[in-house]
Amino acid sequence: MRYELYYWPSIQGRGEFVRLALEEAGAAYADVARERGTPAMMRMMESGDKPPFAPPFLKAGKLVIGQTANILLWLGPRHGLSPKAEAGRLWLHQLQLTVTDFVVEVHDTHHPLGPSLYYEDQRGPARKRTEEFLGQRVPKYLGYFEDLLKGSGGAWLTGRRLTYVDLSLFQIVDGLRYAFPRRMKAFERRIPGLVGLHDRVAARPRIKAYLASERRIAFNEDGIFRHYKELDT
């Protein structure tokens, strides 16, 4: 089956967690808004009786699935990116939802006063929020995943088989490096396991080819991970 991924065409954003899974799986998919323009995505959002609240969403035959973690929950067992047994799938989904929570907090660093205002209109609060984020929240979240990895008994977060959560953790480390290069450089000493995991994901043949291709959108200041020099102090 050829999937259709619907997401904003100019950012990695939340869609990137799905793109990485599709790429690692070697799945055939169209990145619809990139190939056919944003109006094609908007039409899909406004049609049908089950409209998603926001992108990303994935069309798989007649099924339209919204919410990043929900898409991965569905894709995982179909492409060898999650266990098939229920307990394993639930645990993995729980971890992905924890990644989701973290991603919201990443976004809040540059938009503490809300998503409808420009960054330029909330620079002061952004600095305070980022300070708290880098000082408290990054160590808490990444420390949690680092500990799980240490105890996993394998190269990946849940053991000897790579899952979609490993791909998402690659993206988290990659994004934090882009957004906060100075602070991450110092912090990475505390998460050697996750840094290793990041590198192992980046070296996987399909991911490596994807990252080198034009399909990988560059990080930029419209996405979730944004580099503002004044926040990286």
Interface with its own copies (CB under 8 A), residue from 1, 39, 49, 214:
49
Q: Are 24 and 203 in contact (CB under 8 A)?
A: no
* Residue 230 found at the interface with its own copies (CB under 8 A): no
| Number of residues in contact with its own copies under rule CB under 8 A | 43
- Compute the least distance from the CB of residue 184 to its own copies, in Å: 19
Interface with its own copies (CB under 8 A), residue from 29, 133, 170, 180:
133
> Could you identify the residue written with the tokens 């899909």?
44
Smallest CA-to-CA distance from 67 within 32, 97, 107, 36 is with: 97
Q: Are 25 and 58 in contact (CB under 8 A)?
A: no
Dihedral over alpha carbons 107, 108, 110, 113 (to 10 degrees) = 140
* Residue 1 found at the interface with its own copies (CB under 8 A): no
Phi, psi torsion values for 140, nearest 5 degrees:
-70, -50
Cis bond leading into 56, ω under 30°?
A: yes
Q: Are 184 and 142 in contact (CB under 8 A)?
A: no
* Residue 65 found at the interface with its own copies (CB under 8 A): yes
| Interface of this chain with its own copies, residues 75 to 114, rule: CB under 8 A | 87, 90-91, 93-94, 97-98, 100-101, 104-105, 108, 112-114
- Compute the least distance from the CB of residue 178 to its own copies, in Å: 21
* Residue 155 found at the interface with its own copies (CB under 8 A): no
User: Token pair for residue 184?
Assistant: 């991450």
Interface residue list for its own copies (CB under 8 A) = 49-53, 63, 65-67, 69-70, 73-74, 87, 90-91, 93-94, 97-98, 100-101, 104-105, 108, 112-117, 122, 125, 128-129, 132-133, 136-137, 141, 144, 148, 151
